Amino acid sequence: MEKLAFIFSKNKIAIAVIALIFIAAYCSVGYHQADEHFQILEYAALKLHLTQPSLLPWEYQFQMRPALQPAIVVCIYNVVEFLFGSNPFLVNFLLRLLSGILSFSGLFLLYKIHKNEFSNQKILAKYFLLSSFFLWFYFYCGVRFSSENWSASFFVLGYCSYFLTGKKKWLQAFLVGALLGLSVVCRTQSAAMVAGFGLWLLLVKKEKIQWLLAIVICFFLLYGFGMLIDKWFYGKWVFTAYNYYHQNITLHKAALGAGSNPWWFYFSYFFITGVPPISLVIIITALSFFALFPWNAVTWIVFPFVLSHIILAHKELRFLFPIIVFIPFMFTKSVQKVDVFFSLLKSKLFRRSMAFVWFINLAVLAIVVVKPLNIHDSLYHFMFKNYADKTILYCRTADDNPYKKVGLDVNFFKRKNLEIKVISSLNEAVAVPTTNCFFVTEHKKQFADSLQNKKMIYCTFPNWVWKFNFNNWLERTDCYYLYQLN
């Protein structure tokens, strides 16, 4: 670990981080969870006249989702269309790249304001430096144009603005309040972090009331700006935060629709999906930090946020994504405290354990930055790029329809002249003159005889991958096959 840190200077680390952000933004197509697409991109598609209200998720009817991110999509889409023509894939790449830049800007400032706490201990300083920028889930989550990621980024920028020195007090109050306001505009649940930070400023830091009042005023000014964007989107004044609370908390629609989980869900599920032993280290770190530093600002931010999500019936791991940015500080600070009593940093067992954890982390990181999240985006791109004329896409079942996911239509990446037809028999897949006609399936063997005279023009996996189809593993992997009918 120490040798690795010395090999990479800070300039080289910066170059590596920038390169990894760009690679992840380019390769990490798709979405972690369907809301990332259907409640942002498809909402934007409505304003771009690519879809209609009846095809949007049920949340649209109840006006529950803030419109800030869909508005950003609309702006970028229009600029790209003006400069290069319609290209939703370039738009999506730019959104991921912008997300990565925003996310890692917050990480950089977070590192900057806390690094001096470890300046007298070189080993801890190296731990903090590397873990601040190279944990695998930073690149997985950081390039997502999701409400969780953008809310976290704005919160961290607001949090760091408070600790930055050399700023005029009024400007500092504006930055803190405005950025925290944007955090809650993007995701209402982040109000728990904002409330915790506000209480720390009032009760622990004992900031002046007039300065805190300035932050509160700036917070509500930006929140009002978010409501103005909501009015533009929904066509009337709405309070999306209340609508969200009423539908998902009062009426329990989230729990009824997506299921409920026990209070220990986050611990057990994160232990598995967070990649052991990394996940185990993080869980122990968090619990230790709360006990060792009860008056630290990070405890007042993270603890109420986690507790509020534990209490809620419906749980998803992505709900906790906003707090992952604090993991390096919590880990390093906890080790620093414990080392006073147990001399952890001198222990060979501890160092070897950390080296093993970092080996696992870097291995996962190497996969995460190049792996697409979904298989359908490459098919969308192929169809959009090559077939601008009238096109019919036949599919055997609704499940085979690549433009319908989780029961919702994908229109953001679909040309208006592309018609989808679900057929009961392959005999119904008729080649129409002057029209591009294709058949798409995920079950190649099922239609092998019927399609033997048809040309396969697209497959999710390139030809060279099939050379490594040992034990027919590709046949057991999700994959789209596209056949030309005329």
| 5 pLDDT more than 80 | no
- CA distances (Å), origin 79, targets 37, 151, 337, 359: 20, 24, 51, 42
| 166 pLDDT more than 70 | no
| 349 pLDDT more than 90 | no
CB distance 37 to 408 below 8 Å: no
Mean pLDDT score, 249-277: 86
Query: Considering only 135-139, 382-386, 396-400, which range has the smallest mean pLDDT?
Result: 396-400
- Render pLDDT for 107-162 as a digit per residue (tens, 0 to 9): 999 999 999 999 888 888 988 999 999 999 999 999 999 999 999 999 999 999 99
- CA 261 – CA 265 distance, rounded (Å): 6
Can you state the angle between helices 68-84 and 169-186, rounded to 10 degrees?
90
pLDDT top residue among 53 and 428? 53
Residue 347, CB-side half-sphere exposure with 13 Å CA sphere: 12
The band of 59, judged by pLDDT with boundaries at 50, 70 and 90, is very high
> The tokens of 332 are what?
């390093």
Which residues neighbour 30 within 8 Å (Cβ) at sequence distance 6 or greater?
372, 373, 374, 375, 376, 377
pLDDT of residue 52: 96
Longest dimension (CA), the chain: 80
- Torsion sign over Cα 366, 369, 375, 378: negative
- CA 99 – CA 182 distance, rounded (Å): 14
Residue 226, CB-side half-sphere exposure with 13 Å CA sphere: 26
Cβ-based neighbour number of residue 1 at 10 Å: 17
The band of 447, judged by pLDDT with boundaries at 50, 70 and 90, is confident
pLDDT of residue 167: 59
| 187 pLDDT more than 50 | yes
Ordered by start, the domain boundaries in the chain are: 2-368, 376-484
| 318 pLDDT more than 80 | yes
Percentage of residues of the chain with pLDDT beyond 90? 69
